Amino acid sequence: MELAWVKKNLAADGAARRGWIDPQHPSLSVRRQCELMGLGRASLYREPARESDEDLRLMRLIDEQYLATPFYGSRRMAAWLDRRGESVNRKRVQRLMRIMGLEAIQPGPRTTNRSPDHESHPYLLRGVTIDRRDQVWSTDVTYLPLVDGYMFLAAVIDWHSRFVLSWRLSNTLDGRFCLEALDDALQTGRPEIFNTDQGCQFTANAFTGRLKEEGVAISMDGRGRALDNVFVERLWRSLKYEEVYLKSYRDVPEMEADLERWFAFYNHERLHQSLDYRTPAEVYRDPTPVNPRGKETPQTIT
């Protein structure tokens, strides 16, 4: 089996070899395919994911509208596209939203069947006052467009200060890059509570197990309730409107360099009204926000 697979694919160049890697191969893991092809597994995640030019154009429109109306599911999104003169059936919109990892928020939590190797945890933050750094961290994943493809971005943020502790890019929605972002953040400290949505990347044992190793309480939003993770949603909105939508990234290195610059600006230079016009880095170092009258202004999650 392995010999036949290698003979078929080994003559290709590096880029073509990466294209032959099949995450759904019935008998060869991605790791083993990379070994047989002489590829570093990490290199797979540096190539942008591909769709047709028309699908990429539609995905860009869907992404921008989803930021404004995160309660739009595939039916409403298809209707919105139709009003713009885009003749797209609902099944196509549904497929593209699934690729992008987009799910309409719901008015309340709903149940779902889970794989036995995934865990669910209650939402711990309702009514909690956020008044210090490293009290609550949160993470999420978002879609980022390139000229000829797309990537996914995971970031870890401190709720009290809005400080972005770490971020990682990947061309797939598997949990690997989310776990790497978590590990990077844990190099800086440890939160009391870590909040995520119920995406498979965050309910997987590898992710929840890492948090348990650190003694961190795990909080999860109601499924489909993106607004329970409001601070990360605001981060995505700022990033996309202030940076990503103003650019046309040709490749991953260009995107990565631009994100590096923007996150440095966001953490150390961008003034936040909610932080009394201080930067996230200033509040993270001095974790008690002070309003213009000198009073403490802790935040209570409703």
User: Is residue 142 domain-shared with residue 92, that is, in the same domain?
Assistant: no
Domain that holds residue 163: 129-300
Rounded to whole angstroms, the Cα distance separating 123 from 221 reads: 5
Q: What confidence tens digit (pLDDT) does each residue in 86-111 have?
A: 999 999 999 999 999 998 876 544 43
User: Is residue 35 domain-shared with residue 149, that is, in the same domain?
Assistant: no
User: Is residue 184 domain-shared with residue 232, that is, in the same domain?
Assistant: yes
Task: Transcribe 165-219 into DSSP letters.
Answer: EEEEEESS-SSHHHHHHHHHHHTT---SEEEE-S-HHHHBHHHHHHHHHTT-EEE
Q: Is the pTM of this model over 0.85?
A: no
User: Is residue 86 domain-shared with residue 153, that is, in the same domain?
Assistant: no
Q: Tell me whether residue 248 is in a domain.
A: yes
User: Is residue 64 domain-shared with residue 6, that is, in the same domain?
Assistant: no
Instruction: Name the pLDDT band for 192 (thresholds 50, 70, 90).
Output: very high
How do beta strands 129-130 and 136-146 pair? unpaired
Look at the chain and report how many structural domains it folds into: 3
User: Is residue 35 domain-shared with residue 73, that is, in the same domain?
Assistant: no
Q: What confidence tens digit (pLDDT) does each residue in 71-86 have?
A: 999 999 999 999 999 9
User: Is residue 184 domain-shared with residue 76, that is, in the same domain?
Assistant: no
